[in-house]
Structure 1
Amino acid sequence: MNLQEIDSAKITILVDNITDRLLPSSSLVKRPPLVSNHKISRGPIAEHGFSIILEISYTHRNTVKRNKFLFDTGVSKDGIVNNSDVLGINLADIETIILSHGHFDHISGLISTLKRIKKPIEIIVHPEAFLRRWLVYPNGNRARMDLLNEREILQAGGIIRKIDKISFLPRSENKIKKKRSKMINKRVIITGAIPRVTDFEKGFPLQYKEEKNESDLVPDPLVKDDQALIMNVRKKGLIILTGCGHAGIINTIKFAKKVTDVRKIYCVIGGFHLSGHGYEESIPLTISELKREDPQYVVPCHCTGWKAANEIINKMPGKFIQPSVGSTFCF
């Protein structure tokens, strides 16, 4: 695919597992201040979920253009709204919402977000994100995962667009009527389902799906709706943005390089799902392959976990950047 270059990207973490009020700003990342007007400022909250705002800037016909997207909506109903208020972010400026997949820690703030936006807005999502899913543990414990509710989304002003294969991100204008936009933004790729080529990235083995009812569960470890965003920053290389990375961060990188024919990886940012029993075992191979891919920067968020992050710090010195809620990465 002919992915057009962008001049820059700003990525602001709205929801993540970590917040650290003491992190200093740098030329690459702006941290929210601890002190404002001689007082300790109100800080954002952390939770086991993920959401970011992506703003891209590019030049078109000698004019600088900008687009702003929301990628995922966190795990709680109001966490994303709370943090956007604390950080002074106007959610109504968002043009399109993209969901990385249908798990509860990425979708639960969607309705509150739509109500705050107060205008029709497109939601890009893989069709399998609407499956009825369960967590089933080896000891027999199980729990139904929260679902995306199409009716609620539509009533709250969402315009659902289901995309099941790689494509450029559909571009919606601020004024959307009930028909779908036919315009596309050739500067952002949404991967759709990502091919699985490694033998150590196992998806999500705890996941089952309902066939007919809750008594008829079948293994569904691949999380086929897991998708990522890809951008190409001029003179720097690819930015790859993941939600949980259930497809595997190495699979995702390999796919991004293949479809764009760009070899240089500038930054990999998002969840790599390497935390917890059944996933930590793949950390050594994953970090070894990540080191071979040689991104300039790695920002391991959300479900990556402390052990994997620590391994990145040790094995890839100078490449790790600490994520924290409220941080804005300027690439």
Structure 2
Amino acid sequence: MLLNRRSLLKGAGALMLPWPAVAAAPRPAPLRFTVPTIDRLELTVLVDGTAALFGLPIDKPDLKTIPTPRLADYHAAFLAQWGYSILASTRAGAVERRTLVDFGYTPEALLNNMRLLGIDPATIDAMVLSHGHYDHFGGLDGLLATGKVRRGTPLFVGGEEAFCDRIRGMTPDGPPFGAIDRPALAKAGIKLVVGPEPAIAGQGFTTGMIPLVSPEHPVVPTAMLPGKGCDRAAIDPAKRDKDFVVDDAVHELGTAFNVAGHGLVVIGSCSHRGIINTVRRAQAVSGIDKVHAIVGGFHLVPPQTPAQALQTLDLMRAMNPDYIIPGHCSGETFIAAALAAMPDRVVRSVVGQRYQFGVRD
């Protein structure tokens, strides 16, 4: 049966089916630092699944969107693809920083879009890899190969499991899904910061390990191969002696920014631990309850169900964020229902578009 917006909204209050059960994850690391406060945040979508030429600027209370620029050269075009990368440009007082979160599926898309937007890799101050899926790190090798990323630039990764070889599907005969090129990171002089603890990244912070504290328990349709690409001794002891483990995304990170006077802007790049769990972890890490915006991929495509997408919308509405910017794997069920339920708060994610929060220039 096809779901229209009316049925989606009706279902949002009625379809509250349980999520599949998963094994308990290791305990998250203790919280131990004060997060930065910034005056201004600009998010630029570098890679996502939607591109558009005729976007209009949007001026909302405490949010301004600048559409993807039109290009003088008709041969040039922004590239959209299944994957995600977003650049956070921040300012605190007179200090500015740039934090790159994820790298998209291919170097071609990432580098093409950065070039068209006039973004120099040498201006990146910190990088975050949300998790070890190719559609989030596939562009990394090409970015490093430019030779422009400064040596010593930190790359924050949530755990050793991010480096394990992966396969698509949840059975051992699934096709390969790649692995991070660790030698390339060393060659480029990247400073790897690997671990489950929250960390300051640029003028934002990572969530560290995300506990499952909401009804969300998403299914991750990939598996990892312990000992291949990763150090067995450094992964979860329950997984070390196995050759095949269905992913639980325990290494996944969220990234967040505290905008002065407005609250948290939380990026859940793919949200395999659940976008509600990701936001709650950012709140716990920072001690800040107010959520200004929730951004990114919310992992509400199959094998997640429409009922789960609607349940997540209910939970998100209860958080009362000022804005929601769904992209990547958020799924059309969630996006359509969110637009119908909160039309003034939902803004689509588009390649090349910029979203400005906080003090305006």
TM above 0.5, one fold? yes
The one of 172, 182, 202 aligned to 2:218:
202
For the 8 Å contact 1:201–1:282, the answer to whether it is kept is no
The answer to whether the 8 Å contact 2:144/2:184 transfers is no
Return the alpha-carbon distance in structure 2 between the equivalents of residues 118 and 231 of structure 1: 23
Aligned to 2:323: 297
Output one character per residue of 1:215-266: Cα deviation in whole Å (capped at 9) or x when no partner. Answer: x654433211211112111111110012101110011111122222212110
Structure 1 residue runs of 5 or longer lacking an equivalent are 172-186
Aligned to 1:324: 350
User: Residue by residue, what CA displacement relative to the aligned partner does 1:133-192 show, whole Å, maximum 9, x if unpaired?
Assistant: 222257x861221101211221234232213211222x5xxxxxxxxxxxxxxx422112
Q: Is the 8 A contact 2:79 2:113 kept in 1?
A: yes
| Residue type of the alignment partner of 1:144 | P
Give distance in 2, aligned partners of 1:99 and 1:159. Answer: 13
Q: Does 1:53 align with 2:84?
A: no
- In the other structure, the counterpart of 1:33 is 69
For 2:305 and 2:141, the matched residues in 1 are separated by: 31
Note closer, same or farther for the CA distance 1:162–1:41 as it changes in structure 2 (3 Å cut).
same
Distance 2:345 2:200 in 1: 28
TM-score (norm 2): 0.79
Structure 2 Cα separation of the partners of residues 271 and 278 of structure 1: 13
Write out the 4+ residue segments of structure 1 that deviate beyond 6 Å after TM superposition: none
Please identify, of 276-285 and 234-243, the stretch whose mean Cα deviation from structure 2 is larger.
Answer: 276-285
Query: Given the alignment, which residue of 238, 255, 259 partners 1:229?
Result: 255
1:188-199 alignment to 2 at 5 Å? 188-199=204-215
Q: Is the 8 A contact 1:72 1:97 kept in 2?
A: yes
Gaps (5+ residues) in structure 2? 1-32, 230-241
Q: 2:121 aligns with which of 63, 66, 91?
A: 91
User: What is the TM-score when the length of structure 1 is the normalising length?
Assistant: 0.86
Amino acid aligned to 2:155: I
2:97 to 67, 89, 92: 67
Equivalent of residue 151 in structure 1, options 183, 202, 210: 183
Q: What is the CA–CA distance in structure 2 between the aligned matches of 1:239 and 1:43, rounded to whole Å?
A: 29
- The answer to whether the aligner puts 1:119 opposite 2:150 as a matched pair is yes
CA–CA distance in structure 1, aligned partners of residues 321 and 190 of structure 2: 35
Contact (CA 8 Å) 1:10, 1:56: kept in 2 or not? Answer: yes
Query: In structure 2, what is the Cα distance between the partners aligned to 1:136 and 1:41?
Result: 38
Instruction: Report if aligned partners of 1:34, 1:40 keep a CA contact under 8 Å in 2.
Output: no
Q: Tell me if structure 2 keeps the 8 A contact 1:244–1:270.
A: yes
Distance change (3 Å), C-alpha of 1:35 and 1:102:
closer
In structure 2, distance between residues paired with 1:118 and 1:256: 28
Aligned-pair CA distance for 1:329? 0.5
Query: In structure 2, what is the equivalent of residue 128 of structure 1?
Result: 161
Contact 1:203 1:248 in 2 (8 A): no
Which gives a bigger RCO, structure 1 or 2 (Cα 8 Å, sep 6+)?
2
Asked if 2 retains the 8 angstrom alpha-carbon contact of 1:291 and 1:315, the reply is no
When structure 1 is superposed on structure 2, of 319-328 and 127-136 the one drifting more is 127-136
Indicate whether 1:106 and 2:141 are aligned: no
- Residue equivalent to 2:50: 18
SS at match of 2:329: helix
Deviation at 1:67, TM superposition (A): 0.5
Name the SS of the counterpart of 1:282 in structure 2: helix
Q: Deviations over 1:61-118 (max 9, x none)?
A: xxx1100111111101321111111122112111111111110001011111112225
| Contact 1:18 1:47 survives alignment (8 Å) | yes
Would you say the 8 A contact 1:21–1:43 is kept in 2?
A: no
**For residues 279 and 159 of structure 1, do their structure 2 counterparts lie closer, same or farther at Cα, with a shift above 3 Å needed?**
farther
Separation in structure 2 between the aligned mates of residue 258 and residue 119 of structure 1, nearest angstrom: 32
Does the residue aligned with 2:107 lie in a helix, a strand or coil? coil
The share of aligned pairs that are identical, in percent, is 24
How far apart, CA to CA, are the structure 2 residues paired with 1:33 and 1:275? 29
- What's the secondary structure of 2:167's corresponding residue? strand
